Amino acid sequence: MSSMQKLYLLVPLAPLFGAILAGLFGRAIGRTASHVVTILGVAVAFVASVVIYQDVQAGNTFNGALYTWATSGGITFEVGFLIDSLTVMMMLVVTFVSLMVHIYTIGYMSEDPGYQRFFSYISLFTFSMLMLVMSNNFLQLFFGWEAVGLVSYLLIGFWYTRPTAIYANLKAFLVNRVGDFGFLLGIGLIAAYAGTLNYAEVFAKAPELLQMTVPATGWPLVTAICIGLFVGAMGKSAQVPLHVWLPDSMEGPTPISALIHAATMVTAGIFMVARMSPLFELSETALSFVLVIGATTALFMGFLGIVQNDIKRVVAYSTLSQLGYMTVALGVSAYSAAVFHLMTHAFFKALLFLGAGSVIIGMHHDQDMRNMGGLWKYMPITWITSLLGSLALIGFPFFAGFYSKDSIIMAVHFSNIPGATYAYICVLAGVFVTAFYSFRMYFLVFHGEERFGKAHAHDAHDEHAHDTHAEAHDHGHDSHDAHGDDHSHDDHHHGLAPGQKPHESPWVVTLPLVLLAIPSVIIGALTINPMLFGEWFAGVIHVAEAHDVIAEFAKEYHGVVGLALHGFVTLPFWLAMAGVGTAWFFYLKRPEIPAWFGRRFAFVYRLLDNKYYFDRFNEVFFAGGSRLLGRFFWRAGDQAIIDGVAVNGSARLVGGIAQLTRWLQSGYVYQYAFWIIFGVMVLLWMWRMDFQAGAIGG
């Protein structure tokens, strides 16, 4: 094993080591030692990733097995690494954001009794995510895929006494399993027809696969594989209709919302599709499917961000919407743009989440934006960094998000794939919506009237919304242990006492904010050239010539500054400005307007407040239906028919015959005597008949 290979191994193993130490011996080594070892582990992984990055930049890539996991059916299942430009970019993003979140956690979780456990989990997550992105085969991809799901399950349910949290983590796991169902079938098709699970070998066989159809279905094989894999991505990257788990995942502590449910794990699906570009390029049907799902997610999940009052949930819906943008980019074959947005988003969304967490600390664990306002005065660092993050999110020129989002919009603009027009409308409208909900949140939290420290401040503020909330609350109780976001307020009702003021968070919290704010501003300008128009992804991401929208975009591209300056006169910029302006007008200037809207268009409000009724439908149809079906199979199938009729029935039949014979063998002499006499009579009668017959005959 060369020294570089040892370094590859060190990247995932260092966080794993920290996780084991803090997890198994956390109590023994104490709180400080636990965060020291885990932070050290992730820091080592980050530094090693930087070294590997330089090595990759020097042109050294790696694709090889670590060990053979199993062999069967002519397939060698291996665990191994593929180190190339895409991998190393993901490694840098994962380890950097993870490091920031580790440091931030010292402050955020300082009073939590599960301190060591938390550090153990987030380090374990880092390990799993790294194994996922570094994999060179589908088996290990699936390992990492499910392992991050497990840690996500553990972390959403971190506060395991909260009914909402343990409802949310079960839901997240099961919804993800629905996605994995498709994913596994996709992998199964690959194994069956390519005879290998190694990426490079599968890609080499892709032209052969293109000729095949799946027997018993008649589907084109590659399309079936791609759609199967993408269904997995829909679960992990929360695309409609498998998005329902992500908003609820906000039940977990805020640091993991930043790390897992914004920056890294949820982008695993995006990464996976980009990695599989040689397959997806072969199926326009699959790409169209990806495109339409992504566009729908991008716009319609954005709408939901508008009606949320919980600060974390606004950011959560924003994440959904941004994941939709990335998926749209995949759909139009702009994989590099998707990955580019993945990276910039990781920074600014982690920043926004951690900023929201800082606000939550300042507000003493009150997450309701209706109780905030004017926080800029009290939390300057959080304020400025959140503003920078929001500007990046809405795609303000020169910010990181501008470059990546504008690239996606341009890519969709140039695409001819079926569904591209719909997607173009969605992503454009999405720009307005993003700006609107982002700055609605920004204004509600940092500007305007100071609404904290007053008991039940929001009752007067938005009476209508409160009513519908109460209504939703009741529904929550009806369906046996269902909890939407409606309960979460109860759990977080600490808040500020009357007269108490919010305060800025400690340095362990603000330092990561600052360190994340820097890339949120500059990373786009720095990396757009190599990532989109340069050779960085050459040989890693494959785009068919007919789909190469980035090449079209490149013709109009005149440098980093030129693009940003041009950005000021394009439609997306003005849509974003309109969104910001509307938010300002609605929430600072004329706060009565949203309430009026809520009353005037109550049905729209209710539709959005109930998240298009996805949750209700799933609860009634899938969860309720499954229980009903299970009870039916159990009561009618197992108990009534199999046990009742077949098993106990045959037992009764045997018993009945035995009963009859027992009745005959009573042991009473007079009964036997009676039967003897009776028998003799019968015999005599028969003989008589016989005799008569004989007499007549004779």
Report CA 111 to chain centroid distance, whole Å.
Answer: 28
Nearer to other proteins, 193 or 402 (CB): 193
C-alpha count within 13 angstroms, C-beta hemisphere, residue 649:
8
| Burial class, 114, CB count within 10 angstroms (exposed 0-12 / middle 13-18 / buried 19+) | middle
Alpha carbon distance 241, 264 (integer Å): 20
Beta carbon of residue 169, minimum distance to other proteins (angstroms, whole number): 8
431-460 in b/e form (b: 16+ CB < 10 A) is bbbbbbbbbbbbbbbbbbebbbbeeebbee
Nearer to other proteins, 286 or 307 (CB): 286
Alpha carbon distance 11, 472 (integer Å): 46
Beta carbon of residue 642, minimum distance to other proteins (angstroms, whole number): 5
Nearer to other proteins, 272 or 315 (CB): 272
Beta carbon of residue 494, minimum distance to other proteins (angstroms, whole number): 18
Beta carbon of residue 257, minimum distance to other proteins (angstroms, whole number): 19
Nearer to other proteins, 525 or 623 (CB): 623
Report CA 433 to chain centroid distance, whole Å.
Answer: 22
Partners of 71 in the β-ladder: 76
Q: Of 346, 118, 147, nearest to 254 (Cα)? A: 118
Nearer to other proteins, 627 or 688 (CB): 627
Report CA 96 to chain centroid distance, whole Å.
Answer: 20
Alpha carbon distance 287, 516 (integer Å): 33
Beta carbon of residue 281, minimum distance to other proteins (angstroms, whole number): 23
Nearer to other proteins, 171 or 451 (CB): 171
Beta carbon of residue 270, minimum distance to other proteins (angstroms, whole number): 21
Alpha carbon distance 608, 602 (integer Å): 10
Nearer to other proteins, 192 or 497 (CB): 192
Beta carbon of residue 629, minimum distance to other proteins (angstroms, whole number): 5
Extract the tokens encoding 528: 């757009």
Beta carbon of residue 623, minimum distance to other proteins (angstroms, whole number): 9
200-225 in b/e form (b: 16+ CB < 10 A) is eebbeebeebeeeebeeeebbbbbbb
Beta carbon of residue 173, minimum distance to other proteins (angstroms, whole number): 6
Beta carbon of residue 189, minimum distance to other proteins (angstroms, whole number): 6
Alpha carbon distance 316, 367 (integer Å): 13
Q: State yes or no: cis peptide before 594, omega within 30 of 0.
A: no
Beta carbon of residue 387, minimum distance to other proteins (angstroms, whole number): 39
DSSP state of 218: T
Nearer to other proteins, 248 or 609 (CB): 248
Beta carbon of residue 141, minimum distance to other proteins (angstroms, whole number): 10
Alpha carbon distance 210, 460 (integer Å): 62
Q: Of 363, 279, 326, nearest to 541 (Cα)? A: 279
Cα torsion angle, 421, 228, 256, 485, sign: positive
Q: Rounded to 10 degrees, what is the CA torsion of 407, 410, 416, 419?
A: 80
Binding site for other proteins (CB under 8 A): 67-75, 142-143, 145-147, 150, 157, 160-161, 163, 166, 170, 173-174, 177-178, 180-181, 184-185, 187-189, 191-192, 214-217, 224, 626-627, 629-631, 633-634, 637-638, 642-643, 646-647
| Burial class, 593, CB count within 10 angstroms (exposed 0-12 / middle 13-18 / buried 19+) | middle
Nearer to other proteins, 416 or 650 (CB): 650
Nearer to other proteins, 377 or 631 (CB): 631
Extract the tokens encoding 365: 């664990």
Alpha carbon distance 64, 156 (integer Å): 35
Provide φ and ψ at 135, rounded to 5°.
-65, 150
Beta carbon of residue 225, minimum distance to other proteins (angstroms, whole number): 11
Beta carbon of residue 137, minimum distance to other proteins (angstroms, whole number): 13
Alpha carbon distance 22, 245 (integer Å): 28
Extract the tokens encoding 582: 């509307």
Nearer to other proteins, 230 or 573 (CB): 230
Residues in the chain: 698
Alpha carbon distance 165, 483 (integer Å): 9
Nearer to other proteins, 641 or 683 (CB): 641
DSSP state of 447: S
62-72 and 219-220 beta bridge pairing:
unpaired
Nearer to other proteins, 460 or 647 (CB): 647
Nearer to other proteins, 32 or 71 (CB): 71
Beta carbon of residue 143, minimum distance to other proteins (angstroms, whole number): 4
3-class DSSP state of 75? strand
Nearer to other proteins, 214 or 387 (CB): 214
Ramachandran category for residue 398: left, alpha or beta (phi over 0 → left; psi -120 to 50 → alpha): left
